């Protein structure tokens, strides 16, 4: 089964760039560019223009990569959230009110997190007092 292909040119470009930038050969190419730049230093007398070439190049690449990486991270994060939502939906006894939590305000997330932190504390204490640490307790 092949994954669904991105439909927009930017999504295809971002995915391809993300994959390419994470490969060893890309790292080797970047090191080769830096070595070539260093080797040409004496030829250009280590001039300001020579330094500007690497500074400008790395700044441009970094600037553009921020957007490509963010696009890839957003897409991956959304896919993981959908998969987690489906696991919650399909799990008997799961609290489906937890679906789509990433859309809540921080205050509401903090309240829910505090509830689960309390449940975790109680679950860790349960075996010490001879109680089971399993089940589907109410979360309010």
Alpha-helical regions (H) of 1-140: 9-21, 24-40, 48-90, 106-125
Give residue-wise pLDDT tens across range 9-35: 988 888 888 889 989 999 999 999 999
CB 90 within 8 A of CB 134: no
Give residue-wise pLDDT tens across range 49-83: 999 999 999 999 999 999 998 998 998 999 999 99
């Amino acid at each position: 089964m092949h994954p669904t292909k991105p439909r927009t040119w930017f999504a295809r470009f971002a995915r391809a760039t993300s994959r390419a930038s994470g490969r060893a050969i890309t790292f080797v190419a970047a090191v080769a560019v830096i070595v070539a730049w260093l080797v040409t230093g004496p030829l250009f007398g280590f001039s300001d223009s020579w330094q500007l070439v690497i500074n400008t190049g790395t700044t441009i690449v970094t600037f553009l990569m921020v957007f490509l990486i963010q696009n890839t991270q957003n897409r991956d994060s959304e896919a993981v959230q959908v998969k987690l939502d489906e696991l919650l939906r399909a799990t008997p006894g799961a609290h489906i009110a937890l679906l789509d939590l990433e859309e809540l305000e921080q205050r509401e997330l903090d309240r829910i997190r505090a509830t689960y932190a309390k449940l975790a504390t109680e679950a860790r204490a349960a075996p010490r007092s001879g109680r089971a640490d399993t089940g589907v307790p109410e979360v309010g």
